[in-house]
Amino acid sequence: MLLCERKTIPRAPGWHFEIKYDGYRLLASTGNAPQLKSRNGANATTWFPELVDALTTLPVGYILDGEVCVLDDIGKSDFERLHARARRKGWYRGADAVAYCVFDLLVGKGMDLRAQPIERRKAVLRKMLAEPPPGLLYVDSVEDGAWLYGHALALRLEGVIAKRAGSSYQAGERSRDWQKIKRPGAIPSKRFTR
C-alpha cells in the first residue's frame, strides 16, 4: 500500500498517526524460512541476516509490512547509514545494526487480513510483537496527530504518517487512506541514484 503526500495533518476525527521512519520498505514472512522483499520484488533476505534470525523466532504464516532502518541512540532513522549498509548486500564486521520497524500485518496464521480494518490488523500485530525479538520494533499509533507532528518537528524526524480509521490494506495502490506529512526541509524521497 502506497501513501499520498500532503502538507498538513488531517484535523478531522478518525485518523491514527505514526512516526515516519526513513528506511527501506520491506515485506517480511515469518517462521522457518523467512524472506524479506522490497516493494518492487527484490529479494533482500541476505542483506539483513540479523532480521532473518529474528523472524525465525516468530510463528509461521505471517506477512509483515515495515521499514528497515538504522536507528541512532534516540531512535531517529538515518537513511544514509542504512543505504551504506545495504549497498554491501549482507552483514560485515563493523556494519550498522538495523531494526525492522513493523507497522502492519497483511497475513496472519496463513489468512489474508488485508480487508480487515487497520485497528484489527494492528491489534494482532501488537499481540504478536508484545515481546519482540532483537531487531524488530512494533510501530504503535496515536490519535493526536498535532502532538506527534510537533515532536517530529522538534526531533527533526522525516515526518508523520496518517492512517484513516477502519481502512483496509490496498496492496500496490496509492491511497488517500494513508498519507505522509513530511517535515518542511526533510530530504525528498529521490535523494540519490542507485
Active site positions, annotated: 20
Q: Which three cell numbers stand for residue 70?
A: 538504522
Length of the chain (residues): 194
Q: Which three cell numbers stand for residue 89?
A: 548486500
Strands (E), the chain: 2-6, 15-20, 24-29, 36-38, 63-69, 99-108, 111-112, 136-138, 159-164, 174-182
| Owner of C-alpha cell 507497522 | 103
Question: Is residue 45 a contact partner of residue 59, using CB atoms and an 8 Å limit?
Answer: no
Query: CA triplet 58, 118, 157: central angle to 5 degrees?
Result: 80
Residue 20 CA to residue 79 CA, distance in Å, equals 12
Question: Is residue 169 a contact partner of residue 104, using CB atoms and an 8 Å limit?
Answer: yes
Question: Is residue 145 a contact partner of residue 10, using CB atoms and an 8 Å limit?
Answer: yes
